């Protein structure tokens, strides 16, 4: 017993002595401070010890991962070990992404540990100290690259018992090893369709993962185009990355396997993908979005404009909610909502002497707006979850919905014109209109405001909706809730402003005239929607809509006659028959198809002679290969903001001169009718609706222009793209 205790004390003393004698002096180069760092204070015979190459890198400089990317050189270690000792491969931590010009590199900055497993022979003698030497070669880069090399040495004691962590390096190396990519045998397959490489990864470790920061680091430099944006989408069983093929794929040398590291927020995994069909469960729950860096910025290597394009891709819930609220406020100033502003103005005038009723209707309007936003958001999210490529304003891509809205606007206008009444006359609203009817009308007005607001996407709103479209339902609905609160806030706040009502004229005959004036914006909205319907379903569908409109107007008139008649049965019956007859006309017209403009190869003109062509990814790539700037207009006939831009900022002589001077090509992506390819392209830029304006230079990713354009913004973007 005594001898055992003595041996234990001796071993402990030996470890303590060894810990103090383990010696590795740092070596300094011009831009690095390097040393060999053991994880434990001593080595144990027959075990494996991790010895890391610790690099302290000068600010602004970097070294390289095992695949440096488009340029650079990986760090190399040449070991000189005692007999029987063997060193394994470097355990490479997940690198950072660094872009310089058109090149993407995988690098390390500041401080990094590169652990290496070293096998200690079983016959190593406790009590001895061995000397381990290594030569390290680096390429250290900032604006210039400098090869550097240094010789390193480590005196490491041998211990008979378990050695404690090295107090200087042990914790840092343990954390590096814990965070290093894990080889878990995750199922992975890839396919190449001639234009893109799809990498599908499935299994419990990746199912449900947040894909916004997903990124694949390939082991070799020839399989993928590093600088191109990677796009990730999530499925019930995993995720799919869309990658740009590199030289190997483009030369027909499809690799037998694709090895690399898949980095997620939660962890990083070693991937060994085999060629084969992609599993259905690896996609479908979210659109393919450009991935971001962990700090929330757009993927390094994208142009500055892409960060703007990704918009919401890197924002958090609070930021998205704030952007949604601000976007909702601005939405009140957009042309889509102007017809409903007419109804709001009428409501304020009606309650000049009844502030209590105004407050109640303000709250009812708020509830109508929020409820309708949440319903539309629920439908949008459900469609996306079912694999449908839809976005904000999706309901207006249906001709039957557009035709129905046109007739609804017509009915509202006829009501304001006095052809028929809902409840009682506006003149008697102060005393005769019941609270129930007033609240119902306010709720309906709020719902209508949301429906007609869909064609517009206000500043701040686009990024928030794009972010919401990729989130779980609870977070997405919260964003739409704040969007609704923003839209309803001005009118609701005004309804609680007593001073406002004191400044309004007293109710009287003027209100009837004011009401009839407000009918004309509604007629204008109906005419605009009829034009949208003609674009969607074709000019041959218009007669059916016009016939339905005549029947609806007849129904409104006969209903009004019935309201004033002693025996209203016959007029109201005639109104009901007219409405029923209008429905099949509406349906037949909506089933017609407009010419497929997107598939046409003919050019059209916009503005003062600017020719336009249909958009396609292939056409963009071909024009970039020719070295020509490309302007892409994602638009729709039902998007009022789009139409305003096309008839003002994109129609001026200054813009036409800029197109002519730069040789830029104007491509138009028409989303008036549903188009899955356009929907996916919008989603890839973090958008869920139109407008979206992209300007491509000769290479790289596009710049994203504001939603509200000016001639100066467009001209400057084209000039910059020409020089890119």
- Are 332 and 468 contained in the same domain? yes
- Are 19 and 166 contained in the same domain? yes
Q: Is 140 contained in some domain?
A: yes
Q: Is 279 contained in some domain?
A: yes
Give me the pLDDT at residue 676, please.
Answer: 77
Comparing CA positions, the residue from 332, 322, 313, 331 lying closest to residue 463 is: 313
- Are 247 and 158 contained in the same domain? no
Say which residue the tokens 């680096």 belong to: 138
Q: How far is CA 160 from CA 13, 126, 467, 469, 645, in A?
A: 11, 5, 57, 59, 79
Q: How far is CA 253 from the centre of its chain?
A: 33
Q: How far apart are CA 113 and CA 37, in angstroms?
A: 8
Q: Is 412 contained in some domain?
A: no
Give me the pLDDT at residue 69, please.
Answer: 87
Q: Which residues of the chain have pLDDT under 50?
A: 1-21, 293-314, 387, 423-436, 595-603
Enter the tokens of residue 312. 């919401």
Of 500, 519, 538, the last residue of a domain is 519
Give me the pLDDT at residue 329, please.
Answer: 87
Give me the pLDDT at residue 444, please.
Answer: 82
Give every strand in the sheet of 692-696, ordered side by side. 604-606, 610-614, 665-670, 630-635, 692-696, 703-704
pLDDT by residue (tens digit) across 385-411? 554 555 566 667 778 888 888 888 888
Comparing CA positions, the residue from 689, 721, 723, 724 lying closest to residue 707 is: 689
Q: How far apart are CA 400 and CA 522, in angstroms?
A: 19
- Are 134 and 262 contained in the same domain? no
- Are 394 and 505 contained in the same domain? yes
Q: How far is CA 655 from CA 34, 530, 640, 694, in A?
A: 56, 30, 20, 15
Give me the pLDDT at residue 502, please.
Answer: 63
SS3 197: strand
Comparing CA positions, the residue from 715, 704, 708, 709 lying closest to residue 313 is: 704
Sequence-distant (≥ 6) Cβ neighbours of residue 112 within 8 angstroms: 54, 55, 57, 63, 93
The total number of residues written for the chain in this structure: 724
DSSP 8-state assignment for residue 563: H
CATH of the domain at 277: 2.60.40
- Are 214 and 146 contained in the same domain? no
The secondary structure of 495-526, three-state, reads HCCHHHHHHCCCCCCHHHHHHHHCHHHHHHHH
Of 495, 519, 543, the last residue of a domain is 519
Q: How far apart are CA 456 and CA 640, in angstroms?
A: 6
The answer to whether the pTM exceeds 0.85 is no
Q: How far apart are CA 26 and CA 37, in angstroms?
A: 10
Q: Is 561 contained in some domain?
A: no
- Are 172 and 200 contained in the same domain? no
Enter the tokens of residue 211. 């894909």
DSSP 8-state assignment for residue 92: P
- Are 108 and 163 contained in the same domain? yes
Comparing CA positions, the residue from 184, 157, 353 lying closest to residue 264 is: 184
DSSP letters for 353-394 = T-HHHHHHHHHHHHHHHHHHHHHHHHHHHHHHHTT----TTG
Domain count, the chain: 4
Comparing CA positions, the residue from 7, 46, 38, 6 lying closest to residue 21 is: 38
Q: Is 310 contained in some domain?
A: no
Q: How far apart are CA 445 and CA 307, in angstroms?
A: 37
Q: What is the dihedral of CA 602, 606, 612, 615, to 10 degrees?
A: -110
Sequence-distant (≥ 6) Cβ neighbours of residue 20 within 8 angstroms: none
- Are 371 and 489 contained in the same domain? yes
Q: How far apart are CA 718 and CA 716, in angstroms?
A: 5
Under 8 Å between Cβ of 36 and 134: yes
CATH of the domain at 23: 2.60.40.1250
Would you report the helix, strand and coil content of the chain in percent, each value rounded to 5?
A: 45, 20, 35
- Are 200 and 278 contained in the same domain? yes
Of 246, 271, 286, the last residue of a domain is 286
DSSP 8-state assignment for residue 67: E
CATH of the domain at 696: 3.40.30.10
Q: Is 27 contained in some domain?
A: yes
- Are 714 and 637 contained in the same domain? yes
Comparing CA positions, the residue from 253, 216, 250, 249 lying closest to residue 231 is: 216
Instruction: Give 31's strand partners.
Output: none
- Are 483 and 393 contained in the same domain? yes
Q: How far apart are CA 463 and CA 683, in angstroms?
A: 11
Comparing CA positions, the residue from 667, 673, 580, 677 lying closest to residue 631 is: 667
Q: Is 149 contained in some domain?
A: yes
Alpha carbons within 13 angstroms on the beta-carbon side of residue 335 total 12
Q: Which domain holds residue 144?
A: 2-177
Calculate ∠ Cα 257-683-391, nearest 5°. 140
- C-beta neighbour count of 487 within 10 angstroms: 32
Q: Is 586 contained in some domain?
A: no
């Amino acid at each position: 017993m005594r001898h055992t205790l003595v041996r234990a004390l001796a071993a402990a003393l030996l470890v303590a002595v060894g810990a103090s004698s383990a010696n590795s002096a740092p070596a300094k180069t011009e831009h690095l401070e390097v040393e060999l760092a053991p994880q434990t204070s001593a080595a144990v015979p027959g075990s494996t010890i991790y010895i890391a190459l610790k690099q302290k890198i000068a600010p602004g400089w970097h070294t390289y991962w095992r695949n440096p990317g488009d340029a650079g050189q990986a760090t190399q270690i040449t070991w000189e070990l005692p007999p029987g000792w063997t060193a394994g491969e470097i355990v490479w931590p997940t690198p950072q992404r660094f872009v310089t010009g058109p090149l993407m590199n995988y690098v390390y900055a500041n401080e990094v540990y590169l652990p290496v497993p070293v096998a200690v022979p079983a016959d190593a003698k406790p009590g001895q100290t061995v000397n381990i030497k290594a030569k390290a070669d680096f390429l250290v880069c900032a604006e210039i690259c400098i090869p550097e090399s240094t010789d390193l040495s480590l005196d490491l004691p041998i211990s008979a018992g378990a050695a404690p962590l090295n107090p200087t390096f042990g914790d840092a190396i343990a954390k590096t090893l814990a965070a290093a990519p894990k080889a878990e045998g995750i199922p992975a397959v890839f396919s190449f369709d001639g234009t893109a490489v799809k990498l599908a990864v499935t299994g419990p470790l990746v199912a449900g993962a947040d894909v916004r920061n997903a990124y694949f680091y390939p082991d070799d430099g020839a399989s993928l185009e590093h600088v191109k944006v990677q796009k990730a989408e999530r499925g019930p069983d995993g995720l799919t990355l869309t990658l740009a093929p590199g030289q190997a794929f483009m030369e027909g040398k499809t690799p037998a396997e694709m090895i690399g590291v898949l980095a997620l927020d939660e962890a990083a995994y070693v991937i060994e993908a085999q060629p084969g069909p992609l599993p259905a469960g690896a996609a479908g729950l979210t659109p393919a979005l450009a991935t971001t860096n962990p700090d929330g910025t757009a993927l390094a290597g994208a142009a500055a404009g892409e960060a703007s394009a990704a918009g919401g891709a890197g924002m958090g819930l609070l930021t998205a909610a704030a952007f949604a609220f601000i976007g909702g406020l601005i939405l009140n100033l957009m042309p889509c909502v102007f017809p409903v502003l007419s109804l709001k103005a009428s409501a304020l005038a009606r309650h000049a002497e009844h502030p209590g009723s105004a407050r109640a209707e303000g709250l009812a309007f708020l509830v109508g707006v929020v409820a309708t936003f949440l319903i539309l958001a629920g439908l949008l999210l459900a469609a996306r979850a079912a694999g449908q490529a839809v976005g904000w304003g999706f309901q207006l891509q249906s001709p039957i919905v557009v035709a129905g809205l046109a007739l609804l606007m017509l009915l509202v206008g006829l009501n304001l014109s006095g052809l028929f009444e809902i409840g009682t006359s506006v003149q008697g609203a102060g005393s005769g209109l019941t609270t129930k009817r007033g609240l119902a009308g306010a709720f309906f007005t709020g719902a209508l405001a949301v429906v007609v607001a869909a064609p517009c996407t206000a500043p701040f709103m686009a990024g928030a909706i794009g972010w919401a479209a990729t989130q779980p339902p609870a977070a997405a609905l919260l964003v739409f809730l704040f969007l609704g609160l923003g839209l309803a806030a001005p009118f609701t706040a005004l309804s609680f402003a007593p001073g406002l009502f004191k400044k309004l004229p007293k109710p009287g005959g003027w209100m009837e005239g004011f009401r009839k004036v407000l009918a004309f914006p509604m007629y204008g909205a109906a005419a605009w929607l009829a034009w949208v319907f003609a674009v969607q379903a074709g000019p041959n569908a218009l007669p059916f809509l016009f016939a339905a409109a005549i029947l609806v107007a007849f129904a409104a008139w006969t209903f009004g006659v019935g309201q004033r008649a002693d025996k209203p049965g016959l007029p109201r019956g005639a109104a009901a028959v007219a409405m029923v007859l209008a429905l099949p006309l509406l349906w037949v017209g909506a089933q017609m198809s407009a010419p497929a403009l997107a598939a046409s190869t003919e050019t059209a003109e916009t503005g003062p002679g600017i020719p336009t062509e249909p958009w396609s990814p292939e056409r963009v790539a071909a024009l970039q290969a020719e070295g020509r700037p490309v302007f892409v207009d994602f638009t729709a006939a039902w998007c009022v903001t789009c139409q305003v831009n096309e008839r003002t900022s994109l129609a001026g002589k200054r813009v036409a001169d800029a197109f002519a001077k730069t040789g830029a090509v104007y491509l138009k992506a028409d989303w008036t009718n549903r188009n899955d390819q356009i929907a996916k392209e919008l989603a890839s830029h973090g958008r869920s609706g139109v407008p979206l304006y992209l300007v491509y230079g000769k290479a790289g990713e596009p710049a994203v222009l504001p939603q509200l354009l000016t001639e100066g913004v467009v001209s400057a973007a084209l000039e910059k793209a020409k020089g890119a």
